[in-house]
Amino acid sequence: MSVRNFYKIMIALCLCFQAFSQKKLFEKHSDIAFGIGTANYYGDIVPINRPIQSTLQNIRWNVSFDLTRHFTPRFSGNVALTWVRIAGDDNKLEGVAIQQNAFMRNAHFRNDIQELSFKGIFNIVKGNRNFPKRATLSPYLFLGFAFIHHNPVARVPLNYSGTDAVPGEWVSLQPLHTEGQGLPSNPKSKYEQFALNFPLGFGLNYKINRKFDLGVEIGIRYNLTDYLDDIGGNFASYNELLTISPLAAAMGHREYELIAANSGKNREAAIRQYLATNVNPAYANPALTPTSTFPEIFGKGSTRNGASRLDDIYLLTTFRLIYHIAPQIKCPVVQ
């Protein structure tokens, strides 16, 4: 037998063995995806016990890029980078009977979050041997962990007269120590802007063609921080916050702002009603203008986070365009 014929036979045997093996072996491959969708926060300013109203009134956005590696017909791994905006405003609770303390608190915030997540995926429908033959509909569950960086901001009161900020501008809240962090009455240091969270949810992919899918994914993020909204402890007194800065006092005690800085809504009538009901009926007199010289509603030690006993969470709903990357074909080297 010539050497050439020997090689031909060996190559034919290898190809037959490879074809037989591929009937049993799963073809590992990867996909990349771009996603865009909505974001909803639930916490001290947006109570989860009003799920429909809280969700519809506070919708923001998320944008994501991710890579998924399909290891077996059932299990995949995913790494994603996501930009999330969440927000909340106490003034949306005006007239809600059990939330009048929150309305009077008059806090609001916006937070742009950067999230790097690592998730394990369980495919409910077992995948086919190679990706072109994947199912038309592929539902899945996921669970993982993520690192986030966040920075809550809020608008300066419209009547603010200090020289360190402009009325109505957005300022970062963490450097202001709005709960008196670091003062003798609250020796805790200011909260960290880096935190850990745990993504949990489900998704569904629809096969468009050999290479592309459309997907929708819904996932909750439980965060190991209660300060996505800058609220997590008790009030410091107004005078205590003045020792930090006038801006810290203005941002930490917003009860008597007659015009809501975020929405521009007039709060005076609602403030009068609150004071007349909870402090003294005389405050219903329109001749008395609510100002910061009125009784301190939320004194030193009063809780700021009465709306929630859990750390802050956010919900992401993401629509994804997915591109499947064909695996490289490994051919035997013939020398």
Beta strands in 173-211 (DSSP E): 194-207
Beta strands in the chain (DSSP E): 29-42, 60-70, 75-89, 108-123, 137-149, 152-155, 170-172, 194-207, 212-223, 313-325
Q: Specify which residues 201 forms β-bridges with.
A: 142, 219
Q: What are the pLDDT digits (tens) for 249-258?
A: 999 999 889 9
- Nearest Cα neighbor of 122 from 97, 139, 134 is 139
User: What gap in Å lies between CA 324 and CA 205, rounded to an integer?
Assistant: 12
102 phi and psi angles, rounded to 5 deg: -65, -40
Amino acid type, 277: T
Cβ 117 vs Cβ 144: under 8 Å: yes
Cβ 194 vs Cβ 301: under 8 Å: no
**What is the model's pTM?**
0.86
* Residue carrying structure tokens 């997915």: 322
pLDDT at 113: 99
Among the residue ranges 62-71, 77-86, 128-137, 290-299, the one predicted with the least confidence is 290-299
Q: What are the pLDDT digits (tens) for 15-71?
A: 544 544 444 577 888 999 999 999 999 999 998 888 899 999 999 999 999 999 999
User: What gap in Å lies between CA 84 and CA 37, rounded to an integer?
Assistant: 9
Q: What are the pLDDT digits (tens) for 156-167?
A: 999 999 999 999
- Of 40 and 296, the structure prediction assigns the larger pLDDT to 40
Cβ 107 vs Cβ 229: under 8 Å: yes
Element spanning 148, H or E: strand 137-149
Q: What are the pLDDT digits (tens) for 159-199?
A: 999 999 999 999 999 999 999 999 888 888 899 999 999 99
Bridge-based pairing of strands 212-223 and 194-207 is antiparallel
Domains by residue range for the chain, with CATH? 26-325 (2.40.160.20)
Amino acid type, 89: D
pLDDT at 115: 99
pLDDT at 24: 56
User: What gap in Å lies between CA 55 and CA 59, rounded to an integer?
Assistant: 6
Cβ 274 vs Cβ 103: under 8 Å: yes
